[in-house]
A and B are shown apart, each in its own frame.
Chain A
Amino acid sequence: MDLYEYQGKQLFAKYGIPVSAGEVATTVDDAVAAADRVGYPVVVKAQVQVGGRGKAGGIKLAANADECRTHATSILGLDIKGHVVKILWIEQASDIASEYYASFTLDRAAKLHLGMLSAQGGVDIEQVAAESPDAIARIHVDPVDGLDEAKCREWVLAAGLDAAANDGAVELLLKLWHCYVAADCDLAEVNPLILKPDGKVHALDAKVTLDDNSVFRHPEYAEYDATQVRDERETAAHEKGLQYVGLEGYVGIIANGAGLAMSTVDIVSQVGGKPANFLDIGGGASAEVMTGALEVINNDPAVRSIFINIFGGITKGEEVANGIVEALKRVSIDAPIVIRLDGTNADEGRAILEPHLSDTLQIEPTMVAAAERVVELAKSRGGK
């Protein structure tokens, strides 16, 4: 789960990491009132979970209430790469002597945590990484040992920051490490990390991704979940406990297992179709689960045909077939459906489906044949 900048900063603040004082606002009047309390000059910052906010005009400096009003008016409702700005973060403007980059994340290849620190902070850090990888000081941290002050100092010195920043950076990075571990972050990134003219080191931005698997020990995640932006289809699926990702196409896809669902998306694309979604119904295929899945797909107006791709393992073919037949009694589906059912007792399952087959409920013996059929049906119904 990705946090907004303001949520990331509030999280950082809980762990003692210095961030700018600020407030959240959702209306122009609130923004001005917040700025009055925070004290001018302020920075008016669009809260969207996408990069490139500054270049898109989503970050503006305001010296007084009039400017704050002007900027808040222009930024609220702004479309930044498809993300419409609904929330503003109004924070105290900072004087900047130097900009750095710092982050902790998991290095999956090394199976260790990885800290990265660079004296060349700012927006183009990926370019820095590509063109001069030596400009990023990297440290692998064994999760059993953690990061101690001596190792942290060695890392900071290797990064070649301004000498005046070293002590402050060590202190801040130890706190950032603590936050990364204690809050179960997949990513804790500060870009830029700044040195102020007064010698203080400060987190001017916050990019935090939390590990959804650790929700059980973080009840406070619920408030972040409530602010997540999902499309309508995803919200409906999320409520039914289904793994759903909305795509741009017109072939609705239901499969059991993430790998098979991904594979189904692949194969529909390979035969010239465009998948409308990725939907994994998990291990079983009960009438309840299948009904929920069909409802989610049916509510997507872009869907022209539906591909149900089930492989029976522990779940037997008869149970899958009965689930589908029962679900079709409960949901009225306009789009034609093509089923591919394989695995345990697939023949018995197909026999159950046989009397229900029609122009709008077809079955094909293989994944490829089913994909070709479902794409053909979609195209005959206007899918492009």
Chain B
Amino acid sequence: MAIFVDENTLVVYQGLTGSQGKFYGLLNRDYGTQVVAGTNPKKAGTDVEGIPVFASVAEAVKETGANVSCVFIPAPGVKDAVLDAAAGGVELIVVITEGVPAHDEAWFYNKLRRDYPEVRLLGPNCPGIISPGKCNIGITAGHIAKEGGPVGIVSRSGTLTYQALYELKTNNIGVTTCVGIGGDPVPGTSFIDCLRAFEADPETKAVMMIGEIGGSAEEEAAAFIKAEMSKPVVSYVAGVTAPPGKKMGHAGAIVSGGKGTAAAKMEALADAGVQVALNPTEAGEKMVGVVAKL
């Protein structure tokens, strides 16, 4: 099994007619993802290499049964695109676009939670999600992932996600699902959402979690792991030696209350029983050790 997406997932690409949307939409189709539709209000009725284009996600869902949307719309249009997808009836919206204003993210995150509570949002500014061998949505190079299991990956960083997939493949370890949650201030899907899903997924036996400095998502994940996870977790947090950012005002410091540094995150994770690596290679090595004992 995989989490969130699998071989039955039908995907509509919002922005399929743009250069990025077309490039990755077709790459995802080549991987084996069921790319069933695209949207563009101005190009409804046309197609992109055989993929039909509709005016809205609602129409695409009605005509093709799409249940997941992938957004490649430029940042100014993401807010409307997310609402179009939610209203259109998909279960999961994957927003690849980077550079979305924080106020927009906060707005559509809360709008979805209120008006479309069943819809899952992933991103913005994320590499996407891949259940190797089954479905690849987004900008991950599919061949760097080995299919099967027993490891699930959740990551805030794009290139480090690829690095993790690659290190596991090099060590002949398969991945059930790899979720890139993105590093933006208001990620639609959190570490905890993914950890909970991996904990419930019978094929996932261990989880690799890749964090970054800033925010308190890793600390919250650590609390969840301590309280609710039975499966082993290996973690790496990037930015151990990052210099403290230029600080403006006091609000940020008051809100974070000392959280946010890599050291604080690593300490919280270690305290939750997580094996904490100092670099991505070591994380791969630690996971090899964990998998050997499963």
Chain A residues within CB distance 8 Å of chain B: 2, 49-51, 101, 103-109, 111-114, 116, 125-126, 129-130, 136, 142-144, 181, 184, 186-187, 189, 191, 207, 209, 211, 213-214, 216-217, 245, 247, 255-260, 262-263, 265-267, 269-270, 275, 278, 283, 311-314, 342-344, 366-368
**Size class of B's contact patch?**
35 or more
Complex Cα distance, B161 from A126, in Å, reads 36
A207 in contact with B102 (CB, 8 Å)? no
Complex Cα distance, B252 from A207, in Å, reads 12
B109 in contact with A187 (CB, 8 Å)? no
Nearest 3 CB-CB pairings of A with B = A259-B157, A257-B159, A259-B160
Q: Mark B181-200, 1 if CB is under 8 A from A, else 0.
A: 00101100000000000000
Given contacts A108-B185, A263-B160, A265-B242, contact A209 B139 (CB under 8 A): no
B162 in contact with A181 (CB, 8 Å)? no
Given contacts A314-B141, A343-B144, contact A211 B102 (CB under 8 A): yes
Partner-contacting stretch, out of B10-18, B62-70, B85-93, B208-216:
B208-216
Complex Cα distance, B280 from A296, in Å, reads 27
Chain B residues within CB distance 8 Å of chain A: 27, 75-76, 99-103, 106-107, 109-111, 114, 139-141, 143-144, 155-163, 166, 183, 185-186, 210, 212-213, 215-217, 220, 236, 238-243, 246-255, 257, 278-281
> Which of A112, A126, A247, A260 is B110 in contact with, Cβ under 8 Å?
A112
B279 in contact with A189 (CB, 8 Å)? no
Complex Cα distance, B252 from A116, in Å, reads 11
Number of A-B contacts (CB under 8 A): 183
Q: What residues on A are CB-neighbors of B183 within 8 Å?
A: 258-259
Given contacts A109-B215, A111-B186, contact A266 B278 (CB under 8 A): yes
A213 in contact with B220 (CB, 8 Å)? no
A106 in contact with B160 (CB, 8 Å)? no
A260 in contact with B215 (CB, 8 Å)? no
Q: What residues on A are CB-neighbors of B159 within 8 Å?
A: 255-260, 311, 313
Question: How many whole Å from A81's CB to the nearest CB in chain B?
Answer: 11
> Which of B101, B156, B241, B250 is A189 in contact with, Cβ under 8 Å?
B250
Question: How many whole Å from B149's CB to the nearest CB in chain A?
Answer: 22
Q: With contacts A217-B76, A259-B155, A260-B159 known, what are 6 further pairs, Cβ within 8 A?
A: A109-B215, A113-B106, A209-B248, A217-B101, A266-B278, A311-B159
Given contacts A105-B255, A136-B254, A211-B102, contact A366 B281 (CB under 8 A): yes
B102 in contact with A313 (CB, 8 Å)? no
Q: What residues on B are CB-neighbors of A130 within 8 Å?
A: 257
B251 in contact with A247 (CB, 8 Å)? no
> Which of A113, A126, A144, A247 is B111 in contact with, Cβ under 8 Å?
A144
Complex Cα distance, B247 from A209, in Å, reads 10
Complex Cα distance, B242 from A207, in Å, reads 24
Q: What residues on A are CB-neighbors of B166 within 8 Å?
A: 311, 342-343
Q: What residues on A are CB-neighbors of B114 within 8 Å?
A: 144
Complex Cα distance, B100 from A314, in Å, reads 23
Complex Cα distance, B139 from A283, in Å, reads 10
Most buried by B among A104, A108, A112, A314: A108
Complex Cα distance, B139 from A313, in Å, reads 9
27 contacting pairs across A/B (C-beta < 8 A): A2-B248, A103-B249, A105-B251, A106-B102, A111-B106, A116-B254, A125-B250, A144-B111, A181-B103, A191-B250, A213-B100, A213-B101, A216-B76, A256-B159, A257-B159, A258-B158, A259-B155, A259-B210, A263-B163, A265-B239, A266-B239, A267-B279, A311-B159, A313-B139, A313-B140, A314-B27, A367-B281
Q: What residues on A are CB-neighbors of B161 within 8 Å?
A: 259
> Which of B106, B215, B217, B246 is A143 in contact with, Cβ under 8 Å?
B106
B212 in contact with A187 (CB, 8 Å)? no
Given contacts A136-B254, A191-B250, A207-B248, contact A214 B103 (CB under 8 A): yes
Complex Cα distance, B111 from A114, in Å, reads 17
